[in-house]
Structure 1
Amino acid sequence: MAQPGAAQASGARGKGPGGARPLPEPPPVPTLPLFGLDFANLPLPAVVNWLAARPAGARFGYVVTPNADHLARMQRMPEMRQLYTAAMLRLLDSRVAAGAARLAGLPVPAVLPGSDLTAFIVRRILRPEEPVTILGMTEEAVAALAERCGLRNIAHYNPPMGFDQDPAEMERAIRFIEDNPARFHFLAVGSPRQCRVANAVARRGRATGTGLCIGASLLFLSGHERRAPLALQRAGLEWAWRLAQDPQRLARRYLMDSPRMFLLIRDDARQRRLARADRY
């Protein structure tokens, strides 16, 4: 598996960054505003088809999948909103947030969990010999992923803990994405680190393809973590399943930090009421 700086060929390329003209992009995705962000409002297959239609050599853009914890983080980290706004595509990854917003009378976009997106792309879109870039995960987990999912051309680099606070290590992570062209780059180093890397790569404008900020999603496919049963997912209780699996690490996130997401719902509903009042 390739290390940072070891470029891999990824098939025919059109003219992307640095070329004479930009490659054509698919038509814009319909969106619905919520919490001050424009979320894609399409079912999962349509979103995946849109991503798959992007030319492999198109200018790098990234996809974010904010869940309740990520949305709550926007309350205390203004940087998060900027990183999400700059993303090429935003997918709502929280049935809890969607349900609470609906109860507050807010229009709610389609809920598209990042783990579902990852599984769909890996199992139905990627070809066995297609170049794939993974930032994060252990070598053991990546090897298991390759064996279970039939991926034979993975470029992998797992940066050290706290890399996003070290300019040299951050540069190394950025260069790894730039030096390993792929149609899909899986950024699996957790939030907000993966969004910081994706945003830096996009701003620099040297890389191609689509960056997917997907956290632990690949660990479910590798077998290193077990995802909640489908019934719990559909009931909006996937967070409770994960909490039960790792209470020491996740208790603060789910029981103290994530509820701040309800403040976003309150503020969004209030602003919309004020806007309607101003119109009349």
Structure 2
Amino acid sequence: MQLGGLPITVIDRPNAARLMIAAARGHIRSSRPYYFTSANGDVIAQALANVDVAVLFREADQIFADGQPLVFASRLLCSRHLPERVATTDLFHDVAELAEQEGTTFYLLGSTEAENDKAVASVKARYPGLRIVGHCHGFLAGQALEKKLDEINALAPDILWLGLGVPREQIFVRDFASRLQNVGVIKTSGGLFDHIAGKVRRAPLWVQKAGFEWLWRALMEPRRLFWRYFTTSPQAIYAILRYSR
């Protein structure tokens, strides 16, 4: 379906998790990994304002709706309705539970070194049977980045969770996915690792379902997020009203 000018996958969380596992299993090694990403109001606003960002997202194999307002908008404006929000912070756990059973392997790349380490420790404690073949912070450049790309490709994780933020993670996929042909799926993940590590607290469930987690986040991190939401929300609303069907 088209929502705000982007092609959004009509899928619920359980089936999104199964799709990721199946895509990782079905990936042909020595070919470009599947590229899964997510969109919310901020992403739609960025894509509207910057054609290069829009292109980065349209190149994805799947775009999940990571925002309850997108679900509400689909019910009002589109011929097909999104069944539910597929938030990466929730989807990760759905996929991890299946991965434990299937033997699917993970690599976690992103956030700071401290938060990445905390996130990995938390995941290992919660899913002791999950195979995490490696992890690293997301602040690499030059030769360090080149070596890390070779290392990840050699480890051949089924799913690479990539938490660099928009649009850095999409640019990473564009520039380096061809170097990671032994990776099954790259899933962009935004601030996932900070959530898992406990640095950023999720909104209460009723706030999420009401579609106001963005407001909760703005209240939790006003210096970083208030102005961003203040400027991008009108753009997102315009794009959704104008470019949805």
Instruction: Give the TM-score range, shorter chain.
Output: 0.7 to 0.9
- Normalising by structure 1, report the TM-score: 0.73
Shift of 1:133: 0.7
Q: Could you report, residue by residue, the CA deviation over 1:147-190 in whole angstroms, capped at 9, with x for unpaired residues?
A: 34434634112132xx5xx6656645544542331111110111
> Quick check: 1:76 aligned with 2:45?
no
> Quick check: 1:109 aligned with 2:87?
no
1:42 maps to 11
1:136 maps to 110
2:22 maps to 53
Aligned mate of 2:203, from 212, 228, 236:
228
Q: Could you report, residue by residue, the CA deviation over 1:246-269 in whole angstroms, capped at 9, with x for unpaired residues?
A: 111111222222331112123215
| Alpha carbons of structure 1 residues 45 and 101: separation in structure 2 relative to 1, 3 Å | closer
Residue type matched to 1:143 in 2? A
1:262 maps to 237
1:132 partner SS: strand
| Alpha carbons of structure 1 residues 180 and 61: separation in structure 2 relative to 1, 3 Å | same
Aligned pairs (5 A) from 1:239-250: 239-250=214-225
1:120 maps to 94
List runs of 5+ in structure 2 lacking aligned partners.
none
Name the CA distance, whole Å, in 2 between partners of 1:192 and 1:126. 30
> Quick check: 1:89 aligned with 2:62?
yes
1:5 maps to none
Shift of 1:144: 3.4
Residue type matched to 1:264 in 2? A
The structure that has the greater radius of gyration is 1
Q: Answer with 48-57 or 239-248: which moved more.
A: 48-57
Cα RMSD of the aligned pairs, angstroms, is 2.6
Q: Answer with 92-101 or 230-239: which moved more.
A: 92-101
2:92 partner SS: helix
Name the CA distance, whole Å, in 1 between partners of 2:51 and 2:144. 24
List runs of 5+ in structure 1 lacking aligned partners.
1-31, 273-280
2:172 maps to 197
| Alpha carbons of structure 1 residues 149 and 249: separation in structure 2 relative to 1, 3 Å | farther
Structure with the higher helix share, 1 or 2: 2
Q: Answer with 77-86 or 130-139: which moved more.
A: 130-139
Residue type matched to 1:146 in 2? K
2:199 partner SS: coil
| Alpha carbons of structure 1 residues 76 and 49: separation in structure 2 relative to 1, 3 Å | same
Name the CA distance, whole Å, in 2 between partners of 1:127 and 1:175. 28
Q: Could you report, residue by residue, the CA deviation over 1:216-235 in whole angstroms, capped at 9, with x for unpaired residues?
A: 22333333322111111110
Aligned residues: 234
Name the CA distance, whole Å, in 2 between partners of 1:78 and 1:171. 28
1:145 partner SS: helix
Q: Could you report, residue by residue, the CA deviation over 1:77-123 in whole angstroms, capped at 9, with x for unpaired residues?
A: 212211111111111112223324544x3334343222221121123
Q: Could you report, residue by residue, the CA deviation over 1:120-155 in whole angstroms, capped at 9, with x for unpaired residues?
A: 112343359753211113333433333344346341
> Quick check: 1:98 aligned with 2:71?
yes
| Alpha carbons of structure 1 residues 102 and 128: separation in structure 2 relative to 1, 3 Å | closer
Is residue 5–residue 240 contact of structure 2 (8 Å, CA) maintained in 1?
A: no
Name the CA distance, whole Å, in 2 between partners of 1:255 and 1:176. 41
- Normalising by structure 2, report the TM-score: 0.82
Q: Answer with 172-181 or 208-217: which moved more.
A: 172-181
> Quick check: 1:153 aligned with 2:122?
no
